[in-house]
Amino acid sequence: MSDAPPESPPSPPDTALAIRPATTDIDSPSERASALVAWGGERAAARTFEFLTAAIQNPNTRRAYHHATGRFMRWCLDRNIALGQVTGPIIAAYIEELGRTLAPLSVKQHLAAIKHWGDYLVTGHVLETNPAQSVRGPRYSQTTGKTPVLEREQARALLDSIDATTVVGARDKALIAVMLFSFARVGAVVKMKARDYRGAGTASASLSLHEKGGKFHRVPAHHMAAAHLDVYVALAAFADTPNVPLWQSAPRHGGRLSGQPLSERAALDIVKRRCAAAGLPADICNHSFRATGITLHQDAGGDLEAARQIAGHSSIKTTQLYNRSGDKKRRAEVERVQL
């Protein structure tokens, strides 16, 4: 008969995370990956995989939610917190910790991912209740956008600086013009096929855009965007190939199109390179043209509701965030203070 003392029962889960520091027992990436998969059990792992693949159609949302849920699982794993031990206070502590290094909008996105994931585990009978539902994210109110915009003269100088005598130059010029004049998201632009530019060379030319959530959106092509598109389409010889990607990548220094669709990252590289060559600010990004187009539209007295429809926004409040036409007025008002 053994004289060893009986094993003591496991202690209840501790919600005071200050006494549960992160561990470093699992060092190798393969060990961490295996532990992460096994963290919530086989059913939870299967349901989580389904949530991050079949349940989320938008690739950007899927990527963001994959990052957010994985980060939370690793955080719990490092503190020996099992899935069944996760409570609202634990998630609140995690969200508070995220707020020390991430912006409020990023923290809210992480919390949204955890909440949706928790709901999916509940409907899959992995959890009885969703512990994240009672957790509130940081307060955040935004009345104006932060995306850098171009002045009218800067936008004109950028387009004028691009040599459109080559197919790559014509592509870059047309790409920037489409984002600027159609208020389009770069994600919708890079998905376009050659057939999505209709009525080339006519006054009724239009652009067909496939937006987030499977929404189909058709926008009249501004005459300047259409002119640059006509040059690009002619040089690329798309007339007989309507199903090819309209915006294609190009091998480095090759001077020709690859036939493969242009990625959002590649579009950003084009914007950065062209802005640098034109001597424009380094913080200009793909989204800047959406904001610049809406701002110029409002500067010209355009109707805000019409801008919302062109941009494909569900709410006019979203469109207003892109409208920076009031910046000049506020600057002028500030300058009224004289000594």
- Residue 120 · residue 51 · CB < 8 Å: yes
Question: How far apart (Å, rounded) are the C-alpha atoms in residues 122 and 254?
Answer: 53
Tens digits of pLDDT across the chain (339 residues): 444 444 444 343 343 333 344 544 444 445 555 565 667 788 888 898 899 889 988 888 899 999 999 999 999 988 989 898 999 999 999 999 999 999 888 999 999 999 999 999 999 999 999 999 999 988 865 556 678 999 999 999 999 999 999 999 999 999 999 999 999 999 999 999 999 999 888 888 999 998 776 678 899 999 999 999 999 999 999 988 999 999 999 987 678 999 999 999 999 999 999 999 999 999 999 999 999 999 999 999 999 999 999 988 888 888 888 888 777 777 777 788 888
State whether 76 and 161 are in the same domain: no
94 within domain boundaries: yes
State whether 175 and 251 are in the same domain: yes
200 within domain boundaries: yes
Query: Which domain does 59 fall in, by range?
Result: 17-123
319 within domain boundaries: yes
Model confidence, pTM: 0.69
- Other C-beta atoms lying within 10 Å of the C-beta of residue 161: 14
7 within domain boundaries: no
State whether 37 and 173 are in the same domain: no
225 within domain boundaries: yes
Q: Rounded to 5 degrees, what are φ and ψ at 197?
A: -100, 110
CA 86 to chain centre: 29
State whether 248 and 173 are in the same domain: yes
Two structure tokens written together for 316: 């006019």
| Overall domain count for the chain | 2
197 within domain boundaries: yes
CATH of residue 185: 1.10.443.10
Two structure tokens written together for 337: 């203070």
Q: Which of 123, 143, 166 is the last residue of a domain?
A: 123
